[in-house]
Amino acid sequence: MNQIKVGCRLVYQVHTPTTFLFNISAARNEHQQIVEESFYVEPYYRIEEGAVSPLGNRMVRLSVPPGDLTVSYTATVNLRVEEAQATDVSETPFEQLPADVLPYLNPSRYCESDKLLQFASEKFGSLVPDYSRVTAICNWVYDELSYTSGSTGPTTTACDVLELKKGVCRDFAHVGISLCRALGIPARYVAGYAVNLEPPDFHGFFEAYLDGRWFLFDATRLAPVGGFVRIGTGRDAADVAFSTIRGSADSPEMQVWANEERSNDRLLDPNNVETAVSSAP
Amino acid sequence: MNQIKVGCRLVYQVHTPTTFLFNISAARNEHQQIVEESFYVEPYYRIEEGAVSPLGNRMVRLSVPPGDLTVSYTATVNLRVEEAQATDVSETPFEQLPADVLPYLNPSRYCESDKLLQFASEKFGSLVPDYSRVTAICNWVYDELSYTSGSTGPTTTACDVLELKKGVCRDFAHVGISLCRALGIPARYVAGYAVNLEPPDFHGFFEAYLDGRWFLFDATRLAPVGGFVRIGTGRDAADVAFSTIRGSADSPEMQVWANEERSNDRLLDPNNVETAVSSAP
Amino acid sequence: MNQIKVGCRLVYQVHTPTTFLFNISAARNEHQQIVEESFYVEPYYRIEEGAVSPLGNRMVRLSVPPGDLTVSYTATVNLRVEEAQATDVSETPFEQLPADVLPYLNPSRYCESDKLLQFASEKFGSLVPDYSRVTAICNWVYDELSYTSGSTGPTTTACDVLELKKGVCRDFAHVGISLCRALGIPARYVAGYAVNLEPPDFHGFFEAYLDGRWFLFDATRLAPVGGFVRIGTGRDAADVAFSTIRGSADSPEMQVWANEERSNDRLLDPNNVETAVSSAP
Amino acid sequence: MNQIKVGCRLVYQVHTPTTFLFNISAARNEHQQIVEESFYVEPYYRIEEGAVSPLGNRMVRLSVPPGDLTVSYTATVNLRVEEAQATDVSETPFEQLPADVLPYLNPSRYCESDKLLQFASEKFGSLVPDYSRVTAICNWVYDELSYTSGSTGPTTTACDVLELKKGVCRDFAHVGISLCRALGIPARYVAGYAVNLEPPDFHGFFEAYLDGRWFLFDATRLAPVGGFVRIGTGRDAADVAFSTIRGSADSPEMQVWANEERSNDRLLDPNNVETAVSSAP
């Protein structure tokens, strides 16, 4: 069990009546127990909480008049990851995939797996169909791309990134997801907090469905998957923006943090490759 | 908007390995926003959180060895009740009831509505089929029964109570529910925290489905419905026990509290009868 | 795989404007594939289909003016039951029961398990906590009760039946369910069609949750569980009445049938006790 | 009420062990009542039915050895569309959109709304924000694109189509969806059967969320929306392919049909523009 304190503080200058949609609360599920949590809005406005089923992403919607606005979220999370020996984890055959997993084989806005069928097959088609194949994808993505802040934008797709050969965390995840789907491995995007991420920020990584479960992967190697606190899950980054703004607002200031309180050191080693880590319902 | 701080502290002496199931967390839904929340177990044991769909009751399960155990829950809840003019609220005809509401017409363990069809029809069958009919039921229950601590037990049913002519909050609710169902009005049990309840304790009340919504009722008149913080909802008290214990444990000490921080005074008047109050999804 | 043709024909004389709620359609789930199905109303009126989540019982609601009414349902069902060696099936410990199974430990209208704790413990408490204990309950119910048409009514409960020592299929099921729950075994009521039932009628039986699955039991021994086609599932018979009538109607005529087209003979033997049969999602 | 008979017959020559996923069954919901239905596989193999929540698309999965295979589906559907006066239907403000509708504002694989924000705003941003704005989008799509069989392929996106200026039904729908989302109107793809479509085939169209409901639109004007029988709903065509094949199979023959049995003529006029039509849960 890893206990992690996460949070963020978002400061806005709002120019016109504006509606915000925040996706910053830690997910509540059997793997993430929230011991303490607070969500403050300063000055006080009524917020509305909701959840997009079936993934349980928690959202807060807030409509405010012009003026200053500060949103603060903090949580103490007990994280219980399920571990597996990587060598024991095989791919799930198509005929055994549960119905609710099937949509994660479909291409999505930033993950054009349908255009990468031949490419993925040539690069990874002959590898053993198990956990090590997704590791091979992550290693290839890590070697192929350089992590360069500011190199890509909000409409950049996996295919764009494969040409640019650089990107940020969401781009690394999109390429990993696209290659998995092209090989018939269901994959999806996860937004979260991450311990030991430098500089601290919201993080994006991905999950692949293997052997009847979702396993976490991060091709950036920037932070250990055992220290990831899930905010939301989606087909790609389009589904889990940490904020959506309808109106007009500047964001002069933002802090994000994730600190371990107690931990299982092994899972918090970014070089861990033998232990497969699963944290999804 | 009413802001209410609720919580409880439960102390146990555990004699054998024991599993507890707690139903003490405030429900999270569009009407109850949790601003701050904590759930502490002392000494530390891993807890498991779950939700019984589709009502979203939040449960915590905890298995512990013999020894002392303290469980503490606190929450700051922003309560947004929907109000309606009582005179505008009619009953919903059977042919328009949504499918997920229909089970609340069925009799349940402590609410034998199937045995009260004639009784309910004679007493209330000729009244106008709207909100005032449920008010009439509550008034009749209040007049008919005396609130007497310790007068009933865990297997006491609505029919038992109608003979005894006394009971506690859960009994008042069971009779109200049974009479509603017997008249064709869907009704269900709610367990919660209640501001201004004397002495402080967990409270039980009920909801009736009228005019496409669930409205709160409390035939005990012990506390104002505008100060109720929902824990869980069920067919009757059997579904929402605040603790279930499998093993052996004594409970030498328990505190429960609910205090208003900011409030809408009108809804916090137990004599309010003109404003119908709704707080369910 | 067993292929079974089921159906019913219900004839009514309707005296006033009346709303019917029918629970006669075979459930659709991974265990019951509907190859062909028809639902006819004569004369034609618009019907409304719905499902009570989360159990997926399919309902049809129909409002008609006075006059004659015939409702006919037919389906060809491919039934895929999962079998297990009875001796391999143990009870699931309380701390491992899934959240959505927990409500089936609660007492319900016709299954007062809370009043049978001591009785059940004395009779069955010392038996091995596995499949054979539920078999022992069924055998005891079979020996203790005599199956007598017309001996009980719609408000008869398990405790009533234990005094009367006779009843019909729903009563046998209610007693079995009550004893299971009293011992900490989740149990629930199933309404369905049954091959080889004499005389043909709707049937009631039950399921117990063992070893992570729901297993079918029928203490009446009137028909083989491998030939049961599920209509609906509930806490007890209150949840799955085949028809609910609001208004005024006579029912001069009713036929129900269930015939095997192809079958796995072993499961269609009512004396089967070695093979445990599971057919629930 | 429109009664429509739909069906299809799909013939395959299967070369290797192959798994099929079919999305050809009419959706079951409050707007589509299935009076009769059959799903036959020749020769007989066990099929598996499932539903992708939360949209309720019904899928059939089937694994077969090499050889000939024929799949036949037929259904008699009573279609109950809800009508509204087009001039009464306004757009729903962002702050009032339900949580489960929000994902339909996100860009998807074939609907790159995030790249069309400025384009959509220039073309349609100044129009009255109500039903007529979506009609204006459909009219523009109809005028701008030529319907040309074979002009596009499975990876063609809305932006591709806007350059090509031609496409088939799925392309018309993708452009309509993209422009709606770019304007802040939730929109989604619907696959279905369509009365009076020439030549008969599966059809693709779209829905926009207005005034608290989903309304049907078809920019191709090839068939009347009142004769659409829904198979499935998704973010775009990627989610609702009528068949997915894993293995190797040829499809030498396919028939699709949709014929009205009884109808409300007004809704079956493709030139209807005054009556807005809604048929989604």
Cα A58 to Cα C104: distance, rounded to the nearest angstrom = 29
Of the candidates A104, A272, A102, A93, which has an alpha carbon nearest to the alpha carbon of residue A190? A104
- Say whether residue C16 is in contact with chain B using an 8 A CB cutoff: no
Average pLDDT estimate for C271-275: 76
CB atoms within 10 A of CB D36: 15
Predicted confidence band at B61 (pLDDT cuts at 50, 70, 90)? very high
Residue C47 near residue C61 (C-beta atoms within 8 A): yes
Q: How many angstroms separate the CA atoms of D165 and C27, rounded?
A: 47
Please list, in sequence order, all residues whose beta carbon lies within 8 angstroms of the beta carbon of residue C126, skipping any fewer than 6 positions away. Answer: none
Residue owning tokens 């088939």: D168
Separation of alpha carbons A150 and A161, rounded Å: 13
Tell me which of B37, B78, B80 to substitute to probe the interface with A (most A C-beta atoms closer than 10 Å). Answer: B37
Q: How many CA atoms lie within 13 A of A191 on its CB side?
A: 26
Q: What is d(CA D31, CA B251) in angstroms, rounded to the nearest whole number?
A: 53
Residue B263 token pair: 């409030």
Does the reported pTM lie above 0.90? Answer: no
Among the partner residues A102, A107, A154, nearest to D52 by beta-carbon distance: A102
Residue of C nearest to B47 (CA): C95
**Token representation of residue D48:** 């598996």
Q: How confident is the model at residue A233 (pLDDT cuts 50, 70, 90)?
A: very high
- Res A4 pLDDT > 60: yes
The DSSP code for A130 is: B
Statement: residue B134 has pLDDT above 60: yes
Q: Are C222 and C194 contacting, i.e. CB atoms less than 8 angstroms apart? A: yes
Residues of chain B contacting residue C239, judged by C-beta atoms under 8 Å apart? 103, 106
**Tokens 């029928």 — which residue?**
C218
Which residues sit opposite B83 in a β-bridge?
B277
The span from the CA of A21 to the CA of A62, in Å, is: 7
User: What stretch of H or E contains A118?
Assistant: helix A117-124
Model confidence pLDDT, tens digit, residues C63-101: 999 999 999 999 999 998 888 999 999 999 999 999 889
- Domain boundaries defined on chain C: 2-79, 82-239+268-278
D19: nearest CB among A52, A94, A115: A94
What is the torsional sign of CA D264, D270, D275, D280? positive
> Using 50, 70 and 90 to split pLDDT, how confident is the model at A268?
low
Confidence category of residue A92, pLDDT binned at 50, 70, 90: very high
User: Do D226 and D2 form a contact (C-beta atoms < 8 A)?
Assistant: yes
Q: What percent of chain B has pLDDT over 90?
A: 80
Q: How far is CA A278 from CA A105, A220, B160, C63, C207, in A?
A: 19, 18, 51, 51, 33
Task: Say yes or no to pLDDT of D55 above 70.
Answer: no
Which chains does D contact via 3+ CB–CB distances below 8 A?
A, C
What is the rounded radius of gyration, in angstroms, for the C-alpha atoms of chain A?
A: 19
Is A146 a residue whose pLDDT tops 60?
yes
Residues of C in contact with D37 (CB under 8 A): 34, 36-38
In angstroms, rounded to a whole number, what is the distance separating the alpha carbons of residues C200 and C194? 8
Measured CA to CA in angstroms, residue A271 lies from A199, A260, A276, C183 at distances of 19, 18, 12, 49
Buried b (16+ CB within 10 A) or exposed e, C24-33: bbbbbbebbb
**pLDDT-based confidence at D154, cuts 50/70/90?**
very high
Query: Could you read off the pLDDT of B216-275 as tens digits, one per residue?
Result: 999 999 999 999 999 999 999 999 999 999 999 999 899 999 999 877 766 667 777 778
- Quote the pLDDT of residue A55: 66
Please report, as a single letter, which amino acid is at residue C184: G
pLDDT tens readout for residues B137-167: 999 999 999 999 999 999 999 999 999 999 9
Residue whose structure tokens are 């409409």: A155
Cβ-count burial of B199 within 10 angstroms (0-12 exposed, 13-18 middle, 19+ buried)?
A: exposed
pLDDT of C54:
58
Tens digits of residue pLDDT in D220-238: 999 999 999 999 999 999 9
CB burial class (10 A; 0-12, 13-18, 19+) of residue D136?
middle
Task: Kindly give, in sequence order, each residue whose CB lies less than 8 Å from that of residue A213, ignoring residues fewer than 6 positions away.
Answer: A82, A84, A278, A280
B3-29 average pLDDT score: 95
Helix (H, G, I), strand (E, B) or coil at B127: coil
Q: Report the run of H or E that residue B276 belongs to, with start and end.
A: strand B275-278
Instruction: Give the DSSP H or E segment for C134.
Output: helix C131-144
Where is pLDDT greater, at A146 or A273?
A146
pLDDT at D279: 83
What does pLDDT average to over chain D?
93
Nearest to D88 by CA among D126, D128, D127, D121: D128
Q: C82-239+268-278: what fold? A: C8orf32 fold (3.10.620)
φ, ψ for residue C70 (rounded to 5)? -125, 130
Distance (Å, whole) CA B255 – CA C5: 59
- For D50, the closest of A21, A99, A154 (CB atoms) is A99
Query: Is the four-CA dihedral D81, D84, D86, D88 of positive or negative sign?
Result: negative
Give me the CATH topology for the region B82-240+265-278: C8orf32 fold (3.10.620)
Cβ-proximal residues to A96 (8 Å cutoff; 6+ apart), any chain? none
Predicted pLDDT at D204 = 97
- DSSP type of residue D181: H
- Are B246 and C184 within 8 A, CB to CB? yes
pLDDT value of position D53: 54
Percent of chain A at pLDDT exceeding 90: 79
Level-2 CATH architecture, domain A82-239+266-278: Roll (3.10)
pLDDT score of A94 more than 80: yes
Between helix B117-124 and helix B169-182 the angle, nearest 10°, is 90
**Closest C-alpha to B69, from B49, B45, B38:** B45
CATH class, range D82-278: alpha beta
Complete DSSP assignment for A34-54: EEEEEEEEES---EEEEEETT
Which pLDDT score, from 0 to 100, does residue B2 have?
Answer: 86
What's residue C277's pLDDT?
86
Q: Kindly list the residues from chain C whose CB atom is less than 8 angstroms away from the CB atom of residue D47.
A: 33
| CB pair distance less than 8 Å for B239 and C52 | no
Q: Is the pLDDT of residue A69 over 60?
A: yes
Q: Does domain A2-79 have CATH number 1.10.10.10?
A: no
D window 171-190, beta carbon within 8 A of A: 184
CB contacts under 8 A, A 85-124 vs D, are: 94-95, 98-100, 102-103, 106-109, 111-112, 114-115
Helix (H, G, I), strand (E, B) or coil at B25: coil
Query: Looking at B47-51, D6-10, D114-118, D179-183, which range is the least confident one?
Result: B47-51
Residue in D48, D49, D80, D262 to test binding to C, most C beta-carbons within 10 Å:
D49
pLDDT at residue D115, as a whole number: 97
Nearest to D232 by CA among D106, D52, D98: D52
Give C95-126 pLDDT, tens digit per residue: 999 988 999 999 999 999 999 999 999 999 99
